């Protein structure tokens, strides 16, 4: 492919380090789409003949069929997907294949292919996130009044509902979808026609190829068009944040499914056993989701580190952008599918959740709030009184509702029997009626809103 500049071929080591076909062969659909758009534009501008473009299209259709059927022979000697397709096209149609690369370089070709692939990845991840949101919102509606402990510092804090907890992740994943949608908007500009780095002297129509490939517009600077990879970095940045959210939920599933918590039971579909301990049921799917977050974050870091020292325009270093991107998006897509399956199929242990919520003095804040409302105490004084009552209950080995009125009055004489109305976990969650709070009616409304919104968008 190097023409007359070189008198000998590359060494075996050079060929091995230079080849990317094992990675970028995934871009074959995008490469064929870009070639079709480019050929049609060249014919429309009179740069190649209609007969040439017809032959090119015929050859690309055959190549498409060969790759789909698995009969296409990929060659490392041809380096990448672009040259593999071009070489096969020449075998099929002869001379017209050589005219396809007029006014085009592999630099703008790969940038175009990669943007098309990343655009589709944004769409696919958005769909997968919508499915996970639906699973969580459905669970939220089913468990709007299923009481569980809410934690801070992994210590029992205040009672919440399992439905409220699920909706927290619906909100997180909504922001993830927004990040992927934003990334898609920014990447949707066409590099095709920028050629190697400076543009071309041929009278091409970059707007036509941009429209044909579904881009909003051609990129305005040819140097930027071939050298920019921030679109991939932004995609992996969104993926890393999303993977972190999945990892947090996975960690909770690991904790909740332990014998010490027994809040949930994972289905057999998403669990494994032990080779030596027959009693074990391990949450391996959740653990692997947790682990893959590190892998995805590492892919983002690798991409950024590769890019950070590159001058304009194209450098061969950029060949290393696709493996990290493909790996991260594959890992995230798998995690989303696994997490959706886990949420849809897990069993919720309501009694265990309720018992845990009722322990650990989880209604202490409700007691302090009652002292403020009923007795007019400043909150800091109410906090002090409540702390003394917690210490008393802890010393007795009981929870706050188990204290007698006399014991409570020994700390503050003005307390009445009405205080017991706020010490149950049911009353605690029912009282949290502020917008965004855990009151069951709030949770039902939010779950219904989300399910309606998700259905309305077709997600």
The residues that are catalytic are 153, 274
From the number of C-beta atoms within 10 Å of its C-beta (0-12, 13-18, 19+), residue 143 rates as buried
Long-range contacts, 63-68 (Cβ 8 Å, 24+): 63/32, 63/88, 63/89, 63/92, 64/28, 64/29, 64/32, 67/28
- Measure CA 254 to chain center: 20
**Cα dist from 265 to 256, 276, 342, whole Å:** 8, 21, 10
As a whole number of angstroms, the distance between CA 88 and CA 69 comes to 15
SS3 73: coil
CB 60 within 8 A of CB 91: no
**What does DSSP assign to residue 80?**
S
User: How do the residues of the chain divide into helix, strand and coil, expressed in percent and rounded to 5?
Assistant: 65, 5, 30
**What does DSSP assign to residue 282?**
B
Locate 81 and state its tokens.
Answer: 């997907």
Q: Residue 152 phi/psi, 5° resolution?
A: -130, 140
Locate 434 and state its tokens.
Answer: 């502020």
Nearest to 325 by CA among 293, 294, 292, 296: 296
Q: Residue 325 phi/psi, 5° resolution?
A: -70, -45
- Measure CA 288 to chain center: 15
Nearest to 242 by CA among 321, 152, 178: 178
9-48 CB burial, b ≥16 within 10 A, e <16? eeeeeeeeeebbbebbbebbbbbbbbbbbbbbbbbeeebb
Entry field: residues in the chain: 459
Locate 362 and state its tokens.
Answer: 């989880």
What are residue 177's DSSP bridge partners? none
Locate 180 and state its tokens.
Answer: 């992927």
């Amino acid at each position: 492919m190097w023409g007359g500049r070189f008198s000998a071929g590359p060494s075996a080591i050079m060929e091995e380090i230079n080849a990317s076909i094992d990675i970028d062969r995934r871009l074959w659909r995008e490469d064929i789409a870009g070639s079709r758009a480019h050929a049609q534009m060249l014919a429309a501008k009179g740069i190649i003949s209609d007969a040439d473009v017809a032959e090119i299209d015929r050859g690309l259709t055959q190549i498409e069929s060969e790759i789909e059927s698995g009969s296409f022979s990929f060659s490392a000697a041809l380096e990448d997907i672009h040259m593999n397709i071009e070489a096969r096209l020449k075998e099929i149609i002869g001379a017209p294949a050589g005219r396809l690369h007029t006014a085009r370089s592999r630099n703008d070709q790969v940038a175009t292919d990669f943007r098309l692939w990343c655009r589709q990845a944004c769409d696919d991840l958005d769909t997968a996130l919508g499915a996970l949101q639906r699973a969580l919102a459905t669970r939220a509606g089913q468990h709007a009044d299923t009481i569980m402990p809410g934690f801070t510092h992994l210590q029992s804090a205040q009672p919440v509902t399992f439905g409220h907890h699920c909706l927290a992740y619906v909100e997180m994943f909504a922001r993830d979808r927004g990040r992927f949608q934003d990334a898609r908007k920014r990447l949707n500009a066409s590099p095709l026609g920028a050629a190697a780095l400076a543009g071309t002297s041929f009278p091409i129509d970059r707007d036509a190829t941009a429209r044909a490939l579904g881009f909003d517009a051609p990129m305005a600077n040819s140097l930027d068009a071939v050298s920019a990879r921030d679109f991939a970095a932004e995609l992996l940045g969104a993926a890393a944040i999303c993977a972190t959210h999945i990892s947090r939920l996975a960690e909770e599933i690991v904790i909740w499914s332990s014998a010490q918590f027994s809040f949930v039971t994972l289905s057999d579909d998403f669990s494994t056993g032990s080779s030596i301990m027959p009693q074990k049921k391990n949450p391996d799917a959740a653990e692997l989701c947790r682990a893959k977050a590190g892998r995805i974050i590492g892919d983002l870091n690798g991409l950024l580190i590769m890019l950070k020292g590159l001058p304009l325009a194209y450098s061969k270093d950029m060949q290393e952008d696709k493996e990290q991107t493909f790996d991260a998006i594959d890992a995230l897509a798998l995690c989303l599918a696994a997490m959706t399956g886990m949420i849809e199929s897990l069993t919720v242990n309501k009694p265990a959740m309720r018992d845990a919520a009722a322990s650990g003095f989880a209604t202490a804040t409700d007691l302090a709030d009652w002292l403020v409302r009923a007795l007019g105490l400043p909150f800091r004084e109410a906090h002090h009184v409540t702390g003394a009552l917690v210490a008393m209950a802890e010393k007795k080995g009981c929870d706050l509702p188990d204290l007698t009125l006399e014991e409570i009055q020994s700390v503050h004489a003005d307390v009445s029997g009405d205080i017991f109305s706020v010490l149950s976990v049911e009353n605690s969650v029912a009282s949290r009626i502020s917008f965004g709070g855990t009151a069951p009616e709030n949770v039902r409304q939010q779950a219904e809103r989300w399910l309606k919104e998700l259905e309305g968008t077709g997600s």
